[in-house]
Amino acid sequence: MRFTNATATAVLSALQVANAQTFTTCDPTKKTCPGDSGIGNGKPFDTDFTKVTGTDAPTGWTYADGTTMSYDSTNGANFQISTKTGAPTISTSQYIMFGNVSVYAKASPGTGIVSSFILESDDLDEIDWEWLGSNDASVESNFFGKGNVTTYDRAIYHPIANAVTGWHTYNIEWTKDYVKWYVDDMVTPVRILAYDDPKTIKGTQFPQTPMKIKLGNWVGCADAAAASDPKTEGTCEWAGGPASFDSGASYSMYVKNITISDAGCGGTYTYTDQTGSYGSISSSNEGDTCGSSGSTSSAAASSVASAASSTAVELPTSLIAGASSGTTSAAAANATTTASASASSVPAGVSPASGNATGTGSGSGSGSKNATSTGSGSSGAGATTTKAGGSSSSSTSAPQITANSASSHKYGAVELAVMFLGLGVGYLVM
């Protein structure tokens, strides 16, 4: 890390105030939320942006507020910024529960400009690739758990040639046991984050809830004023200094194609409790419809995601009450306890359907112990002012509710409150 402590603090506060890209419309670790429509592991979801015509979002993608895009047959999707408030961002309409994502991209040049390819969940687990337009020699990997931005010590800069001026394939392989980041191949990861890495705080900060894939280009440092404003100076320093829009300058990140494989079972992914642990995530798809054409490695995630099924969607009132009171309830803290206390709401890992190998991992409840969801995100929730991108999530929840009325009615009213949580990726939308 190149930051001094003071700078890191400045970055932290800047992002908490300024962030708008990373947010959640409903945090399932704090309240009941609509389920997440899953892609499922039947077949990869590929998008070839060089084949897109027009400017509407391609099938399966959603534009953040204020996003305009163009597409061409040579470079694919053009995430172009030509003003200091530009922040074109697209996200998948559906979620994955572990899996692989590969993006063939050329990051945006330009001092102060930040390109990003991230996976992000409703409770603000996050896995990132980011590029600084001022740095053609490296790409950054990063992760966050449950929106915890107490520290900024998880980013790693990986040296690669032509990080900004060249095309590369960037991969994320995400399982319950690890996250691996790869550049240009799926053989030698440039980074491996194990579930029990010390930085995951015993797994509690390991990204492990259903994720959308988001691609975007944004202005990390708008101008000289931002560079001297205590609230944004840290971000500005990180971004390499103020962006220049003199003489009609514009900056484009290009993405030719993306391949997404969901290791989970698809259907609707539901947080069966408020721990935010992978063992608490169920899929509405039964085991027999899941994994039949999936890859071999999907077994673990499939069983995690499939076990609870539609019958286990309903949360026991005691669990809701206990968890929402602010402390993690005893039941939530131990999957086994939950199961015996309330046979109808079995955390995925405990169900017999989760089988042998995965039962050990998820059934142990190691991820759900010590659920640390409360508090962390609230530090960033003070970022009240900006609005952007709010529609992307809420518009995708709506169809889920109609499509899955069985589970949605059990969950009650849809939460539409928009919470802005500070995170490592921040749009400076003024």
Ligand X SMILES: *[C@@H]1O[C@H](CO)[C@@H](O)[C@H](O)[C@H]1NC(C)=O
Please state, in angstroms and rounded to a whole number, the distance separating the CA atoms of residues 261 and 116: 19
| Helix runs in 116-265, H state only | 224-228, 233-239
Alpha-carbon separation of residue 59 from 45, 392, 424 (angstroms): 10, 14, 28
Q: Under a CB-based contact definition with an 8 Å cutoff, are residues 149 and 124 in contact?
A: no
**Which residue number, 97 or 236, has a Cβ lying nearer to ligand X?**
97
Q: In angstroms, what is the minimal distance from the CB of 229 to ligand X? A: 26
Q: Which of 126, 140, 173, 237 is catalytic?
A: 126
Residue 57 DSSP code:
P
Nearest Cα neighbor of 294 from 37, 99, 102, 120 is 99
Please state, in angstroms and rounded to a whole number, the distance separating the CA atoms of residues 175 and 391: 29
| Strand spans (E) along 95-137 | 99-106, 113-121, 126-132
User: Is 126 in the active site?
Assistant: yes
**Which residue number, 81 or 160, has a Cβ lying nearer to ligand X?**
160
Q: In angstroms, what is the minimal distance from the CB of 33 to ligand X? A: 19
Kindly state the tokens that stand for 58: 């391609």
Q: Under a CB-based contact definition with an 8 Å cutoff, are residues 363 and 339 in contact?
A: no
Q: What is the CA radius of gyration of the chain?
A: 20
Other C-beta atoms closer than 10 Å to the C-beta of 240 total 18
User: Is 314 in the active site?
Assistant: no
Q: In angstroms, what is the minimal distance from the CB of 401 to ligand X? A: 27
Q: In angstroms, what is the minimal distance from the CB of 246 to ligand X? A: 33
Please state, in angstroms and rounded to a whole number, the distance separating the CA atoms of residues 141 and 302: 26
Please state, in angstroms and rounded to a whole number, the distance separating the CA atoms of residues 194 and 210: 18
Please state, in angstroms and rounded to a whole number, the distance separating the CA atoms of residues 134 and 86: 17
Q: In angstroms, what is the minimal distance from the CB of 244 to ligand X? A: 31
**Which residue number, 252 or 310, has a Cβ lying nearer to ligand X?**
252
**Which residue number, 46 or 56, has a Cβ lying nearer to ligand X?**
46
Name the residue with tokens 């280009």.
217
In one-letter notation, the amino acid at residue 166 is G
**Which residue number, 179 or 243, has a Cβ lying nearer to ligand X?**
179
Q: In angstroms, what is the minimal distance from the CB of 375 to ligand X? A: 5
Q: Which of 120, 130, 140, 233 is catalytic?
A: 130
Q: Which residues sit at the interface with ligand X, rule CB under 6 A?
A: 46, 48, 99-100, 104, 148, 150-151, 173, 186, 201-202, 204-205, 256-257, 259, 261, 263, 295, 297-299, 333-334, 336-337, 356-357, 369-370, 372, 375-376
**Which residue number, 289 or 391, has a Cβ lying nearer to ligand X?**
289
Secondary structure (3-state) at 161? coil
Please state, in angstroms and rounded to a whole number, the distance separating the CA atoms of residues 91 and 87: 13
Q: In angstroms, what is the minimal distance from the CB of 17 to ligand X? A: 19
**Which residue number, 116 or 298, has a Cβ lying nearer to ligand X?**
298
**Which residue number, 101 or 222, has a Cβ lying nearer to ligand X?**
101
In one-letter notation, the amino acid at residue 278 is Y
Q: In angstroms, what is the minimal distance from the CB of 250 to ligand X? A: 24
Instruction: Please report the sign of the dihedral spanned by the C-alpha atoms of residue 275, residue 350, residue 345, residue 269.
Output: positive
| Helix runs in 135-267, H state only | 224-228, 233-239
Q: Under a CB-based contact definition with an 8 Å cutoff, are residues 268 and 283 in contact?
A: yes
Q: Report the catalytic residues.
A: 126, 130
